[in-house]
Structures are given as C-alpha cells and as structure tokens.
Amino acid sequence: MSKKKRLALFASGRGTNGEALYKAMQEGRINGEFALIITDHGDAGIIERSKSWGIPVFVIERSDYASKEDFEGAQLQVLAQYDIDGIVLAGYMRIVGAELIAAYEHKILNIHPALLPSFPGLHGHQQALDAGVKVTGCTVHFVDAGMDTGPIILQCTVPVYADDTEETLSERLLPVEHQTYIEALALFCKDALVMDGRIVRRKDND
C-alpha cells in the first residue's frame, strides 16, 4: 500500500459528504487522510460534526479579508503548512479562485448534485425537476475556473419520480452522492486517474 494522500477538506455547511469520506478513510476504503479542514463559515455544521476526528479546523471567512485574493492567500498559507496532496470540496459554496486552482491543478475534487454539464450552479435538484428530466444524479469532477465545468471523474444516476420535490430528490440522491464521492476519491488516492486532454481516464494500479 502506497503512502496515504494528505487531503484538505473544504466545507461550508452540514458536512455529510465530508463525514462519509472520513468514515470511508477510517474503514480503509480510501488510502487518504484529512490533514485539516477549512470552512468559510464559523457556524458550519462540519465544525461540530468533526469534533471527535482530531483534525485541525480553520475558519477562514471571506468577510475578514479586503479582497478575494487576500482571502484565498490565507487559505493557501494554511495549506502550505500541511503538505497537502489534494483538496476535497464537500458542500463548499464558493467558486475556487485561479490561484488555488493553479497551485493544485487536477488535485481539487468537487461533487455536484446533477449530471453535469446539465444543471450547473445552485439548486441542481430543482433545476432537474423544472426541466422534467426522468433521470438525474451526481457528478464528481476536478475543479477548474468555471462553474461546475471541470473534467468529469465519475457520475451516478437516480430516477426522478412524478411526485418528487427538491427535498425528496435530495434525500434519494444523498447516499448515492456519498458512495460516488468515496469511489472517486479512492481512485484519486491510488493515482488511478489520468488526464487525456479534458477527459479523465481510469488506469488500474491493482
């Protein structure tokens, strides 16, 4: 088994995806570990959720900095102290800036609750319902400078039912999101993902 990847978890909210990934790491399903957590909200649920993990948490709020550049500079400064191999966005509600992307190109992963490139941005579930699609899902992708436009790593689907609401669809998709993110991060941590232009291809290292 190769050395565990050292990862930073970025989260803004409840942290359910982050918790699912953390548990998968503890179970040995992902050859990685969260070295630190960065949140942009002092009251984010991930802070309470991660208390028993023994992982340092840094609250870096945009409102504390004069510019987006200063804000991201503070993030980069913290990351540099921890020798990070990759960044995992789990419910992180900000667009990642160019400097961070350049420093960690094809090393920042995100999950989106829709089948990209359809329904990017906020309210992916509601966008799917409004469009009348019969199947939706989630996408794990590398982050680039666009809004949910980065190279796609993995996608999984769920059916959309006629009586679905944003809440019921979200509830059905959440466990699928967890499993998809675990699988994608496991591939990343064993260096099984290679870039071919904008296409992410899988190589088997087993």
Which residues participate in catalysis according to the annotation?
Answer: 112
CA 32 to chain centre: 14
How long a stretch of residues is the chain? 206
CA distance 133 to 63: 38
Tally the C-alpha atoms within 13 A of residue 85's C-alpha that lie toward its C-beta. 15
CA distance 170 to 188: 26
Tally the C-alpha atoms within 13 A of residue 97's C-alpha that lie toward its C-beta. 13
What are the C-alpha distances in Å from 54 to residues 12, 84, 155, 170, 171? 19, 17, 31, 30, 29
Can you state the angle between helices 16-26 and 166-189, rounded to 10 degrees?
40
CA distance 10 to 111: 12
